[in-house]
A = this chain, B = another copy of it.
């Protein structure tokens, strides 16, 4: 089914009749196509479902192109990013082209579905702005963090699942919660990996997020648990390149206060709720996607 989605995206790109755009598009890494999986698992492999999946993946690719410019990211899924190779301008323009093509094809689907997806893109764009703004200062407001990752990461997954459910005539509320929980948990785990996953070059976690000003959930919880002196110490390290001993101190505090487990468990609660909903609906594949997310060490 994913092959059909790839072919449909390719058709959409080819219909633009522009060799340069086709060439640039082919340079983008394909990724996990998680959103396309959700959509085709929920709504099946008929043409409308394949179109919806292709559109959502084009919109997702557009958002990543702009995200890499905004984050000054030079790598995307192990490859040099488009902005790293061709500069920010090309990444912005290619993103705009994929967005507008996606939106145009969306107007040809059911208007309720077009509304759900385009509304998610508003949330996604606002989430991007919030991410940048929150990173400007040491922010330990958990509600703000959750709202931001919901917009940035979960909104399009929520919309993918619920619009596919609408297409298939299923109970879309359950699928919406499934997509939303999966998206938030996915981002929580991604943020967690920044303090737990060993970097190849450093031999220990890179703590990139904190250096870039992002006070993700682990930092929010750690700050809560530190004593006043250490609170100030942590705050003073925000948005700085940490020395080896500073970074060891952060990791030690994270470990002492059991932060990885706390954060992992919080993500797990969301995923378990998502799994339970899919168990009720007999959606085995969707159940398994969620299960895989928590079925390994972080």
Please give the residue numbers on chain A whose beta carbons come within 8 Å of chain B beta carbons, in ascending order.
16, 18, 20-21, 66, 69-70, 88-90, 92-94, 96-97, 99-101, 103-104, 106-108, 111, 114-115, 118-119, 121-122, 124-126, 128-129, 132-133
Q: A99-B99, A107-B115, A124-B100 given as contacts; is B21 within 8 A of A93 (CB)?
A: no
Complex alpha-carbon distance, A118 and B12, angstroms: 14
A122 touches B108 (CB 8 A): no
- Give A115's nearest chain B residue, CB to CB: B107
A108 touches B104 (CB 8 A): no
A96 touches B18 (CB 8 A): no
Residue from B16, B97, B100, B118 within 8 A of A104 (CB atoms):
B118
Chain B residues closer than 8 Å to A69, beta-carbon distance: 88-89, 92
Chain B residues closer than 8 Å to A66, beta-carbon distance: 92-93, 96
Complex alpha-carbon distance, A124 and B16, angstroms: 12
B115 touches A101 (CB 8 A): no
- Give A62's nearest chain B residue, CB to CB: B96
Q: A89-B70, A133-B20 given as contacts; is B97 within 8 A of A107 (CB)?
A: no
Interchain residue pairs with CB less than 8 A apart (10):
A21-B126, A69-B89, A70-B92, A94-B129, A97-B126, A99-B125, A100-B124, A101-B122, A103-B106, A104-B118
- Give A98's nearest chain B residue, CB to CB: B125
Chain B residues closer than 8 Å to A132, beta-carbon distance: 89-90, 93
Complex alpha-carbon distance, A104 and B107, angstroms: 10
Chain B residues closer than 8 Å to A96, beta-carbon distance: 66, 99, 125, 128
A100 touches B125 (CB 8 A): yes
Chain B residues closer than 8 Å to A21, beta-carbon distance: 126, 129
- Give A113's nearest chain B residue, CB to CB: B107
Complex alpha-carbon distance, A70 and B97, angstroms: 14
Question: In angstroms, how far is the closest chain B Cβ from the Cβ of A114?
Answer: 4
B122 touches A104 (CB 8 A): yes
Chain B residues closer than 8 Å to A126, beta-carbon distance: 16, 18, 21, 97
Complex alpha-carbon distance, A89 and B121, angstroms: 17
Question: In angstroms, how far is the closest chain B Cβ from the Cβ of A1?
Answer: 26
Question: In angstroms, how far is the closest chain B Cβ from the Cβ of A17?
Answer: 9
Complex alpha-carbon distance, A126 and B129, angstroms: 25
Question: In angstroms, how far is the closest chain B Cβ from the Cβ of A86?
Answer: 10
Q: A121-B100, A122-B101 given as contacts; is B16 within 8 A of A128 (CB)?
A: no
Chain B residues closer than 8 Å to A111, beta-carbon distance: 107-108, 111
- Give A71's nearest chain B residue, CB to CB: B89
Complex alpha-carbon distance, A27 and B124, angstroms: 22
Complex alpha-carbon distance, A101 and B118, angstroms: 8
B100 touches A108 (CB 8 A): no
Question: In angstroms, how far is the closest chain B Cβ from the Cβ of A144?
Answer: 12
Question: In angstroms, how far is the closest chain B Cβ from the Cβ of A245?
Answer: 33
Complex alpha-carbon distance, A279 and B256, angstroms: 80
In the A-B complex, the 6 residue pairs with the closest CB atoms:
A107-B114, A104-B118, A100-B121, A96-B125, A97-B125, A100-B122
